[in-house]
Structure 1
Amino acid sequence: MKKHSIAGLLAGLGAASIWGGMYVVSKVVLDVIPPFALLTIRLIMGAAVLGMVIHFRRNKPAFTREQFWKSLLVGFVGYGISLGFQFVGTKLSTASNGSLVTSATPAFVLIFAPFLLGEKTTTRRIIALVVSTLGVLAVIDPRNAELSPTLFWGNMSLLSAALTWALYSVLVRKVSQTGDLLTSSAVMLLGGLPSSLALGLWEINTQGVGQITIGIIGGLLFLGIISTAIAMFLWNYAFAELPAALASLTFFAQPVVGTLLGWFFLAEKITPLFLAGGALISIGILISTRE
């Protein structure tokens, strides 16, 4: 693989790993701050951090008004629409259903990429996706999923989240071909603010906010700086550097890291099925990189 490709692969795996490990922190903070209010804080902090990096950067590439609006629109798809569906789906469905349904994201990327990017859907890419998908199914164990009719709208929201996140990711690759990625990434975070701010203010007025402790502030800093500014940029970098089909497979690192952290911090068991799944995900990514 080329040096850029390796960097892109590591960036995608890094982003997915951070997101895989953020659920413990999110759970604690969400007990105090409602979801859309938390998302608003994350987006503002993330954009501010990237903005500071841009400000102190020596070489500032030109960024046109057209690139600004394109990036803002892409950000609205990813952070305004997709994350909104994810929050609603998580609330109306279950965590196991969320892991299962959102694992469809790479498959949707494979559908969007030929139309929006002109990338060919090769036999190797399909095989890599199938192998990796079997791996993630082994990791999250679909037997834990619930298909109760009462969860229908929650599951539909989760499916919409997977679909729109795949669309966002493919559009990132398209936008990155004509503009500076760092500036685009900061503007994309701002794109999610109109909807999250409105819903966040409504949540605060109706539900209120719990006690803000030092631990909660630490959680906010982690979620805003690490899992938003850094992880979102790494994810965008992966899609800027790699074919969309390959970059999307790094998404499968999320459940693997989440399970490993559960084993390390919560003494949860590592099953043979998990080990087999992790191996299949690795094989799938390896198959895709050989193209």
Structure 2
Amino acid sequence: MKRDKIIALIAAIGASCIWGMSYVSKEVLMEVFHPGTLMSIQFGLATLLLGSYNFFFRKTFSIKGRDFMVLLCTGLLGITLFNLLANTAIKVMNSSIVTVLFALIPVVCLFTDRMIFKKKFTRLKLVCVIGSIIGVVFIIGAGSISIDTNSMTGYLYTFISMLTWVAYCYISEKYYDKYEMIEILIVQGLGGVLTSFFYVFMHPVDMAGITPAIAGHMAVIVILNACISYFLYIIAIKGLGVTVTNVFNNLVPVVTLCINIAFYGYVVDRKGLIGTAIIIASVIALNIFDGREKSVPYDDNLEKIV
């Protein structure tokens, strides 16, 4: 296995672990913050950190013109809309169910590959994606998903957030070899902040509710989630492609479940253990036996999207 692919695999696993952890933190934080306010503060602080690092240490910035505007718009998709919808879904339901539903993202990627980029389904990809979804169903348990007004609203928010994330991934991917990762994240973070800062004024934070524990959870979603995990995700996409990388999203509910069990008294039965094993086996099989995806003809197809 090539060194670059090994690095990409490690990056994808690392990003998934951070996201699994951050969804639990977000669930805790939304007891104090409005979903929109939380997202705006999270990426406002992250953009400030990344921008400061770039200004003082790298002293360069190369993204200009149309590329700057496109990446700014991807901030609306992958930061503002995705995180706002996901945060709202978590508040309506809970972090475990939302991360489980995100297992459908690789399916959306497969159909996007097929319908827009005319890629053929491979038998291995289909089997692994279906297998990971079966694993997710085992984890959550069929009887755990209720059908009522609140849950249906949460499912709708989650589904729309998945679509915005997939669009963000495909539109952004062509810029990953063109610009430095930190520059891309600064522009996308700025796009997220510019389209969400008004939430801070509409739903101000009650400073009396900011405890050391809340501050710790905020550090998790700012430093680990908004900065480090996005770096790792870009590395993974460059090495594995969008669809294979998003299969690793199916590790997120495993991490979230483990944290909820360890720290919040969540009880898991034999089905949960079986589901975890199926997900891990599916992800490993896909990346051991499936070669790296070929490059997508972005210039012809993404111009239509952008």
- Aligned position for 1:65: 65
Displacement after TM superposition at 1:161 (Å): 1.1
Structure 1: state its 5+ residue gaps: none
Query: In the alignment, which residue of structure 2 is the partner of 1:4?
Result: 4
Query: Match of 2:269?
Result: 271
For residues 28 and 85 of structure 1, the distance between their equivalents in structure 2, rounded to whole angstroms, comes to 16
CA 1:242/1:216 → structure 2, altered by over 3 Å: closer, same or farther? same
Q: How many residues align?
A: 289
Query: Hey, what does 1:87 align to over in structure 2?
Result: 87
SS for the counterpart of 2:203 is: helix
Structure 2 equivalent of residue 33 of structure 1: 33
How far has the Cα of 1:95 moved from its partner?
4.8
TM-score after normalising by structure 1:
0.88
**Aligned AA (1:11):** A
Deviations 1:14-57 (A, max 9, x none): 11111211234333332223222121111012112222343355
CA gap of 1:150–1:285, structure 2 versus 1, over 3 A, is closer
Shift of 1:156: 1.3
Q: Which string of whole-angstrom CA distances, capped at 9 and with x for unpartnered residues, describes residues 207-257 of structure 1? A: 855433333333322221112111122122212221212101111111111
Amino acid at match of 1:231: S
- 1:33 and 1:209 in contact (8 A); partners too: no
The match for 1:161 is 161
Question: What is the CA distance between 1:77 and its match in structure 2?
Answer: 0.5
After superposition, the C-alpha distances for 1:113-154 in whole angstroms (9 at most, x for unaligned) are 345666543222112211111122222223211112454333
Alpha-carbon distance in 1 for matches of 2:86, 2:265? 28
TM-score normalised by length of structure 2: 0.84
The residue identity in structure 1 corresponding to 2:261 is W
1:262 aligned to which of 260, 263, 274: 260
1:120–1:142 CA distance, 2 compared to 1 (3 A): same
Counterparts of 1:93 and 1:26, CA distance in 2: 12
Query: Given residue 18 of structure 2, which amino acid in structure 1 is its aligned partner?
Result: I
Corresponding residue of 2:14: 14
Which 10-residue stretch deviates more, 71-80 or 277-286? 277-286
Question: Does the CA contact (< 8 Å) of 1:31 and 1:210 recur in 2?
Answer: no
Structure 2 gaps, min length 5 = 291-306
Change (3 A) 1:116 1:174: farther
1: CA distance, partners of 2:92 / 2:211: 28
CA contact (8 A) 1:86 1:161 kept: yes
Kindly state the Cα deviation for residue 80 of structure 1 after the two structures are TM-superposed.
Answer: 1.5
Structure 2 CA distance, aligned partners of 1:272 and 1:161? Answer: 31
Give how far 1:190 is off: 1.6
After superposition, the Cα gap between the structure-2 partners of 1:97 and 1:39, relative to the gap in structure 1 and judged at 3 Å, is same
